[in-house]
Structure 1
Amino acid sequence: MGSGNAIRGSRVGAGPMGEAERGEAAPRVRVPFWCANLHETHPSFASDAAIPELWDCPRCGLPAGQDQHNPPAPPRNEPYKTHLAYVKERRSDKDGQAILAEALERLRANRSPW
C-alpha cells in the first residue's frame, strides 16, 4: 500500500526539536524601552550582553530609551532642499549676477549672425 517512503508527510527541519538537539538556551533578560509616543517594548537580551541605550520602537520607528518619564526626543528631520537652495548657501547675489553676466556674454559671442 505504501510507497516505501519513510519520510512521507514531513518536511526538512520537521520533528521534535527539544533542548537536547539545540543545546541549552542562554539566560535572557527582558529590558523595557519607551519612545516619545509612550509605546512600550520589551526586547530580550542575553544576560551577559551589553544593553544599548536606544532601541527602535517597533510601532512607530522612533528611538526608545529606558527612562519612561524622559524618553529620547524624536530626530529632527531637515526639510528637502532644492539645488537652488544649496547654491544660494554657497554664493551671494553679487556672485550670481557676475556668473549670469559671464554666461550671457559667452552665449552672445557664440551666436551666429544670420
Structure 2
Amino acid sequence: MAGGSAIRGSRVGAGPMGEAERGESAPREVFSYYCAKGHVTRPSFAVGDDREIPAEWDCTRCGLPGGLDPNNPPEPLRNEPYKTHLAYVKERRTEAEGQELLNEALDALRARRGFVAAE
C-alpha cells in the first residue's frame, strides 16, 4: 500500500491561476523613462483618470534617475564627498579668524599652566 498525500508536491493555494480565478487585470499603459547613460526603463501603470505618472523613475540598470523625454534625461544626482570636521570649520572661518582663535586658546592654556608669554 502506497502511503502519502494525494496533494503531494503542491502547496496551499497552488493550482492553475488564470483570469477566471483572479478576475480581469486592470488595463495598463507602458511608459518609457530614459536615463543619462542611455538606458531605457519601461514600467507599466494602470489606466485611469486619477492616476499620477511620476516625472522621474530610477533606472533599473544603473540607478540614475530617468525622465520621460529621451532627448533631455535628468541630471545624475551629485553626491557630496565626505567632509571632515576641519573642512566644516574652514567653511565657517577665515584663516585669520582661525589663527586668532588659536592664539587666544594658547594664551589661556599658558595662563592656566603658569607660563609667562614672551613679548
Q: TM-score range by the shorter chain?
A: 0.7 to 0.9
* CA RMSD in angstroms, aligned pairs only: 2.1
- How much does 1:4 deviate? 5.1
Q: Which amino acid aligns with 2:47?
A: S
TM-score, structure 1 as length reference: 0.82
Question: Does 2-11 or 46-55 show the bigger shift?
Answer: 2-11
Equivalent in the alignment of 2:70? 68
Unpaired segments of 5 or more residues in structure 1?
none
- How much does 1:87 deviate? 0.5
Query: How many residues were matched structurally?
Result: 113
Q: Which amino acid aligns with 2:61?
A: R
Equivalent in the alignment of 1:92? 94
Question: Does 6-15 or 23-32 show the bigger shift?
Answer: 6-15
Percent identity (aligned): 65
Separation in 2, partners of 1:63, 1:94? 43
Equivalent in the alignment of 1:42? 42
Q: Which amino acid aligns with 1:87?
A: V
TM-score, structure 2 as length reference: 0.79
- How much does 1:70 deviate? 1.7
Question: Does 11-20 or 40-49 show the bigger shift?
Answer: 11-20
Q: Which amino acid aligns with 1:9?
A: G
Unpaired segments of 5 or more residues in structure 2?
none
